[in-house]
Structure 1
Amino acid sequence: MKKTIKILGLFALICFMISTLSSCSNDDDPTNNDFFAGTYKGSVSYTDDSTTVTKDNGSVFVTKIASGTKYNFAFSDGIPDLNGIEFEKQGDHTLIMIGSNGTSYIRIDNNELKIFYTKDGRTWTANCTR
């Protein structure tokens, strides 16, 4: 009986893992999901008064917060995160930062992330793909 329970438990775990891995796709579109989490890879940089970080092989982990319009951006390589950035949907598959202007711009879709964001003398940039 214990052996049967172990086998069934292992089978359930394998089924869960397969369904979890197959549901994570680069085709997920941040504009169409209530919850979104994805990693974009490419060049990232950060500059402030005393620090400059530039990486050609960096990454940005993007998560959509429960509000549905706010996103968090977790940068690699010790670059400070950007949190609570608000977006609006533009077209079918593109999000544009609310309040975009000549000095701050973030654009995200299912394949590409572009960031040029300045705040309080600090600058974040990213040119990444998934």
Structure 2
Amino acid sequence: MKKTMKVFGLFAMVCFMIAAISSCSRDDDPTNNDFFAGTYKGKVTYVDGSSNISKDNGSVFVTKIASGTKYNFAFSDGIPDLNGVEFEQQGDHTLVMIGSNGTSYIRIDNNELKIFYTKDGRTWTANCTR
């Protein structure tokens, strides 16, 4: 009987894990979720004085902070992260960085991430998709 209960418990746990994993979708929209985490892949670059990092197959892991308007961007390949960037919603499914201008711009939706961000003589760029 104990062995049957262990097998049943293991089966139930596997079913729960499959359901949890399959419920995560690439179609999750960062504008419609209270919490969001997603990986965008593509070209990422970072320039800091004489230091240059450029990867055609890099990635950016995006997380929405509990405040609901601030996001963190964790870059691959040793590129420093951008944290606490504030956004506003434009249209139904697009977020644009608050205070974006000609020298700093971040746009994110459920399929695409575009970054051109400068701060303290450093520049981050990303042209990525999910």
Q: Same fold (TM over 0.5)?
A: yes
Residue of structure 2 in register with 1:98 after alignment: 98
The one-letter code matched in structure 1 to 2:29 is D
Runs of 4+ displaced beyond 6 Å: none
State how 1:1-130 maps to structure 2 within 5 Å. Answer: 1-130=1-130
- Partner-residue secondary structure (3-state), 1:106: strand
The one-letter code matched in structure 2 to 1:65 is I
Give the unaligned 5+ runs of structure 2: none
Distance 2:63 2:12 in 1: 28
Distance 1:9 1:104 in 2: 52
Distance 1:2 1:53 in 2: 57
Q: Deviation of residue 116 (structure 1)?
A: 0.1
Q: Deviation of residue 49 (structure 1)?
A: 1.6
The one-letter code matched in structure 1 to 2:127 is N
Distance 1:12 1:35 in 2: 27
TM-score by length of 1: 0.97
Q: CA RMSD in A?
A: 0.8
Q: Deviation of residue 124 (structure 1)?
A: 0.2
Q: Deviation of residue 96 (structure 1)?
A: 0.2
Identity of aligned residues (%): 85
Q: Deviation of residue 24 (structure 1)?
A: 1.0
Q: Deviation of residue 5 (structure 1)?
A: 2.1
